Structure 1
């Protein structure tokens, strides 16, 4: 809150399926001052988490989420729906996803969330799984950043174009591909994607800032247990992205992908 951050993103299965109860315990009287987004789709199985889009399981998870948080989440995402759609026929995928979307819409109507959305790590399987008659998500959460491959970038943008309207928001996640200390961040200067001045900007700050343009997103969810790191990322938002540099980078990605396919 001191850094101006008012949103917390979590999931039903995070922290060993205890994230909601833990968040309520830690947040206590401050929790209501944050916008809470969470996800459902992974469930506790025998020895490992399992994925399901079964509407009854989704509904039960949403009810449990409200009890454990002690408040109604602002947004609930279907968590990586592609996990249950990959390997099925297009007809089965469309039917399964449409039923799950209807369950989320019913949950919103019944007051279990204010809005619902789709959070996907690999949007490709969703492109042919959309039923035009099914309820539309209010928010799409997709991968973003310099480590997102051109195919995922293209699929994410196609999904946003196909499944959104003028009210749909697009969020990003994983700007460091889940590892901000990866050696890759020391092998090139991400600051070339930002306008001057850049002298006081770190590589992590530059990579985080440009993630808002790869692809175009309005919000980026990032995880950290280091308040200093979080402060640096918040400070990076004051810098301007060099749109021309991003455009040239995307062209290079497309050329490389084309040459490899040929």
Structure 2
């Protein structure tokens, strides 16, 4: 299965139209996910969790794409939420209910949440918040202990398995970032001699946290091919466990 992930606000809010034009009648052959939550504003993009706006955005996505998305993700809900308040819990619950309703109406096949900083969300989750089918989070060696802990807390609260999890930004922005010249992620692989640093970083992103897919940019086809080849790499599970333990210990120290 080939999956495409986009968002209403990409390409200056033109991503759906451009994708429909470029892919044409091939688009139904892809698994397609998109995101809603950002809207055009007088000063650029503005974020909103208003149920009515979200519902209209899902309708607009299906219309612009020429087909219903397989998955619609609530985009960075933390941007409109405060830590642990009753009002924020009600706002999150209403936003999730709007996407749940859109799914029931056949505007998309499933809904979920994409969050860049999930630390705000765990205290807001209770029985009033509908359960998403998918959770997309940052993944990889550059994800901090707080983000990893929050992600695992959400997985537990919603009863989500690895199959419901998706990762993004496995390189923390770019494979050319200075950190990758100083840190060799191949030490986390059992067969480290066969792969590049970028391939190793991508493969380990599937384990930090445990996700079933990782979204990457599509600017360079050759780069995509290398990443696909990296899926055959075998992580060194002991190294991963040790790294997770170090992150937890550091987080515990910072909290005391």
Q: Where on the TM-score scale, by shorter chain, does this alignment land: which range?
A: over 0.9
Aligned residue pair count: 256
Correspondence for 2:40 among 38, 41, 44: 44
Of 128-137 and 102-111, deviating more is 128-137
Q: Indicate if the aligned counterparts of 1:121 and 1:143 stay in contact, CA closer than 8 A.
A: yes
State the distance in 2 between where 1:7 and 1:122 align.
Answer: 23
Q: 2 CA distance for matches of 1:175 and 1:166? A: 20
- Name the counterpart of 1:226: 220
Give distance in 2, aligned partners of 1:155 and 1:186.
29
Aligned equivalent of 2:251: 257
Q: Answer yes or no: is the 8 Å Cα contact 2:49–2:92 preserved in 1.
A: yes
Unmatched segments (≥5 aa) in structure 1: none
Query: Which of these residues, 226, 237, 241, is aligned with residue 243 of structure 1?
Result: 237
Partner of 2:28: 32
More helix by share: 2
Match 1:109 to one of 104, 107, 110: 104
Q: 1:69 aligns with which of 65, 68, 74?
A: 65
SS in 2 for 1:95: helix
What is the CA deviation profile of residues 142-166 of structure 1, one whole-angstrom value per residue up to 9, with x for unaligned ones? 1110000011111111111112356
Q: Deviation per CA, 1:223-262, whole angstroms, max 9, x where unpaired?
A: 1301111000000001111110101112222333344455
> Structure 2-normalised TM-score?
0.95
> Unaligned stretches of 5+ in structure 2?
none
Distance 1:42 1:110 in 2: 22
Q: In structure 1, which of residues 134, 150, 169 is the aligned counterpart of residue 145 of structure 2?
A: 150
Match of 1:136 in 2: 131
RMSD, aligned CA = 1.6
How high is the TM-score relative to the length of structure 1?
Answer: 0.93
Change (3 A) 1:22 1:125: same
1:98–1:131 contact (8 Å) kept in structure 2: no
SS at match of 1:176: coil
Deviation at 1:168, TM superposition (A): 6.7
